[in-house]
Amino acid sequence: MKNTIFVFKEGIPKYKQIYEQLKLYIENGNIPVNEQLPSIRQLADSLSVSRNTTLNAYEQLLAEGYIYSEGRKGYFVTEFEQSLFTNISSPVISNETDVVEHVIDFRAGAVDQQHFPLKIWRRISNHILTLKNSYQYGDPFGEECLREQISSYLFQSRGVNTNTNNIIIGSGTQQMLINLGKLLKEDFSSVIVEDPGYVGAREAFKFHDLSLESLPIFESGTDFSNLDLLMSRLIYVTPSHQSPLGVSMAIPERLRLIHWNNSRQGFIIEDDYDSEFRYTQKPFPALASLDSTRVIYLGNFSKSFLPGIRISYMVLPELLINQYKEQFHSFECTASLPNQLAMAKFMKEGEWNRHIKRMRLIYKRKMHCIVSELRSHFQQTVTIIGDQSGLFVLVKVHLNQSEEWLIKQASLHGVKVYPTSVYSIKNNSDEPIIKLGFSNLTYAEIKLGICLLKEAWS
């Protein structure tokens, strides 16, 4: 220990740096086996740190077996076979990197932090934590007070007429689909999915070994021409704002899908993931509002409120609800109990409706901003897809370049953009389509991002 030198770096806890350096000295044999280490006080004084700092470092080394303690004598180095360490290669950290720091990230799936109702949510959350029932396990199918609010909201906003008994609360769309897949695979061996479509849904179905059939989706809408030729009686769709192409299923198409489904005695899984944000006219009625007997409705608070809140919900038809509850009555609800109670109160106080109304206007303006900037900078070299609703746009780029090239060039100019090829099964676009989310960006960031993209793709 006499010749050991400690050099502290900024931003890393000092106890961790002491632990790492002592560990390295021991592994390299710089501190002999069974040598006594300085006392906690001696080491703290010599390094000008607190005793707790050196104590934490010693306790970590002790827990990992690098040192041992002998009563009041102190700490000593454990005996090791040096060959045990020489065969382990240490990670090499390079100072050189070709990664460019992203100035603008067009990530979809985030929400506007600036306009999040932080004070209101904090007030409600603090109140919830004073309630006795916040400190226990909740209803396995979700808190009744939240299910009541969701039932009322769905009737008013989406025309879905349901009761609290048919609503199931969970922690995310994928988790709900996995549970649902466990239930449905007893009677169904395959499922129809959109192509291109939500990858998370496909993975959830594949988790239960359900085979996939694809329903082609184009910029003009859904292609139902071969629907009757498909074998499946189960279909997953995003009719209000198709993911990722952004098209909405027209009323005649919805009615046709319902008729097809009823003729097969199957089920439609309707993922209504961001129907709150339509900017041209009111959203079309949900499929579940047109036929509640064989439509499974999925919704969530991730896009409209906060991704990290992890609250989603599912409305099951009478044909499935009892079977579902029998299967999952022994499982705890995966959604946070305090968050459920807080959201119920948030909705009951009218804050939810005010939040949606405010954010719809804000996101509409951001949509107008990004579309305007794209048209101004790129003119005829891009086609904008899905600018009527949602929190992202797709940009079909007519530059005779690959999706990979477009993403790499954008990154080199400090802009992070996202591919859409991952959504496709076999219905691939003839030209690359890039996904640009805008919900968490300011107007200035949107304008800068598009300007940088213009430089990157020129």
Query: Going residue by residue through the chain (458 aa), what tens digit of pLDDT does each one get?
Result: 555 556 677 778 888 888 888 888 888 888 888 889 999 888 888 888 898 888 888 888 888 888 988 888 899 988 876 656 555 544 444 444 444 567 899 999 889 999 999 999 999 999 999 999 999 999 999 999 999 999 999 999 999 999 999 999 999 999 999 999 999 999 999 999 999 999 999 999 999 999 999 999 999 889 999 999 999 999 999 999 999 998 888 889 999 999 999 999 999 999 998 888 888 877 778 999 999 899 999 999 998 999 999 999 999 999 999 999 999 999 999 999 999 999 999 999 999 999 999 999 999 999 999 999 999 999 999 999 999 889 999 999 999 999 999 999 999 999 999 999 999 999 999 999 999 999 999 999 999 999 999 999 98
| Helices and strands (H, E) in the chain, number of each type | 15, 16
The H or E element that residue 271 is part of is strand 267-271
Nearest residue to 420 (alpha-carbon basis) of 196, 110, 106: 196
pLDDT of residue 280: 80
Cα distance from N-terminal residue to C-terminal residue, the chain: 60
CATH of 104-109+354-457 among 3.40.50.720, 3.90.1150.10, 3.40.50.300, 1.20.1260.10: 3.90.1150.10
pLDDT of residue 84: 60
Q: Please give the DSSP secondary-structure letter assigned to residue 206.
A: H
Q: Please give the DSSP secondary-structure letter assigned to residue 229.
A: G
Residue 444, class by beta-carbon neighbours within 10 Å (0-12 exposed, 13-18 middle, 19+ buried)?
A: exposed
Alpha-carbon torsion angle 433, 214, 107, 354, nearest 10: 120
pLDDT of residue 65: 86
Residues whose CB is less than 8 angstroms from the CB of residue 272 and which lie 6 or more positions away in sequence, other chains included: 158, 238, 239, 240, 286, 297, 298, 299
The H or E element that residue 81 is part of is none
CATH class of this structure's domain 14-86: mainly alpha
Distances (CA, A) of 119 to 114, 125, 130, 323, 450: 12, 10, 17, 41, 33
Residues whose CB is less than 8 angstroms from the CB of residue 326 and which lie 6 or more positions away in sequence, other chains included: none
Question: What are the extents of the domains in the chain?
Answer: 14-86, 104-109+354-457, 118-349
State the CB neighbour count (10 A cutoff) for residue 130. Answer: 7
What would the DSSP string read from start to end of 128-185? HTTSGGGGS---TT--HHHHHHHHHHHHHHH-----GGGEEEES-HHHHHHHHHHHHT
Ranges of H-type helices in 349-389? 351-378
- Just give the CATH number of 118-349: 3.40.640.10
Cβ atoms 48, 83 nearer than 8 A: no
Q: Give me the sign of the Cα torsion angle 26, 31, 37, 43.
A: negative
Phi, psi angle pair for 409, to nearest 5°: -65, -40
Cα–Cα distance measured from residue 267 to residue 234, given in angstroms and rounded to the nearest whole number: 5
